[in-house]
Amino acid sequence: MSKLLIVKADQEEALFGDGGWDAVVVVGDANGLESHPEIGQLVAHAAHVDARIGKEPLMLMAPGLAGGRLVLAPTGDLDNEYEDVRRFAEAAQAGIGIALRAGARAPLLLVSGNDDLRYSQALEVALMGAGHEIYTPFDVSGPEVTLGVLGLDEVARVNALENGRIAARDLCGGDPEQMAPPAFADYCVELFSDTAVSVSVIDDPDTLKADYPLLSAVARASFAVERHAPRVVRLEYVGEGVISRNWFLAGKGVTFDTGGADLKIGGAMAGMSRDKGGAAAVAGLMATLAQLKPKGVRVVAELGLVRNSIGSEAFVPDEIIESHAGVKVRIGNTDAEGRLVLADVLSHLRESVNGCENPVMFSLATLTGHVGRAYGPYSAVIENGVARGQALGGQLQMVSEIWGEPFELSRLRREDFAQVAARSPSERLLSSNNGASVNISRGHQFPMAFLVQASGLDQHGLGSDQPIAYLHLDIAASSVEKRDPLYGQPTAVPVATLLANLLDH
């Protein structure tokens, strides 16, 4: 895994070339930098000869400034009531891109402030955009880059966050062989070696089939191919001091999804190596915690890593399989495999909750095409009754807005339970109907009804002896940059949002 070093720079030394920086990148309104009149003077002069100044990203020759380069990366109109903080990430990404292509390897970021509460994390979000541009996939040789920043207080946090996001991008973006289940698990073992996060890997076929029956059904055709065989990775972080937060996260890690017997056709299989974005994001969050070491929190995660292959051993529709929670599930469509993986993983995490105070469970998954049909390039959060009663989904949505990873708050309703109700006395649940989720009414909501019941979480609702708040995060439309959903760079969504929720800021 590569690393990006973010350094807090001394203001005067950095700007005027004595700090080792080789470009200055200004994000926002350069005319609003009252504390840097020398930059304002340069910009004012340039605006007399170039009408593009302030309208699009540009680089100016700037003798005397660090590297002799000044990159202007305007954010556009921030007063528009429908705008959000992503403007800062987009501007920083564009500006840093210009600096890197010009040869800079130690750019210095200067973010123009804004008093609007929407932009309270503008500096950190700009750094996330810069990190996205600097990122080089693990299988590509790229330049070493150090990113300087002015006006930043929490240097340790942004470094830990970006390194977690790098891990999430690596894991999500690796091709079907580079990040097949055993390779994904090996990456995690190396990533968490000698850290505050403990890691264990379940790879024994008999154990997997006995303890993760739905997951193993998805992986049935891949068991015989050693390099594709399934894995379950368990990660745990326990901070120092009195534990006030207990989180449990399940990550969908389908390293390649052919659709199984319900084969994806018409080009729909391309890009399905990115169907592990949920597990990748969970691992990225844990990598951030391993470096940051926050006190008072316990986070347990399980990653279900499978390849949904085709072949004579593949599972098929109409099969009835009993989940780890003891629920008989009739398979409706083998291309609705992610919910099967998550159900068993959630069931195991549910058993880990015993005795914990105020536990919160999450599932993260690139689960449905419907979420993109419903919300475009946004993530969706769906709550069970306990989480809704605590307004956890609304809180997550609010935090996601100021961290530039916006979620839409969706809703679980009674019709969703009807979608997965038994169709015969032989089963208790139907995993899905036999159509693509993009064409199904409430196609991203009703899988939550399945997950709640197949995992046994329906026994932990409001009024139960041990209520468990549970939120399902469908990131199918946001885990890869929207300009190229098949082959674009993974976004590492929602690592920043989860970290901010966990730490209350």
- Whether a cis peptide bond, with omega within 30° of 0, leads into 494 is yes
Marked catalytic residue, from 264, 293, 328, 373: 264
CA 267 from chain centre, in angstroms, equals 25
Q: What is the dihedral of CA 9, 12, 16, 18, to 10 degrees?
A: -60
**Which amino acid does the sequence have at 432?**
S
321 contacts: CB under 8 Å, gap ≥ 6:
213, 214, 217, 315, 328, 329, 331
Residue 140 burial (10 A CB sphere; 0-12, 13-18, 19+): exposed
Burial class (CB in 10 A: 0-12, 13-18, 19+), 353: middle
CB-CB neighbours of 453 under 10 Å: 21
Catalytic residue among 339, 350, 388, 428: 339
Give CA angle at 248 (242, 249), nearest 5°: 140
For the chain, the distance separating the N- and C-terminal CA atoms, rounded to the nearest angstrom, is 27
**Alpha-carbon distance 124 to 89, whole Å?**
9
Single-letter code of the amino acid located at 281: A
Can you tell me which residue has the tokens 């200067």? 110
- Give me 157's structure tokens: 């946090």
The question of whether 339 is a catalytic residue gets the answer: yes
Q: Is 264 a catalytic residue?
A: yes
Q: Indicate which residues carry an active-site annotation.
A: 264, 339
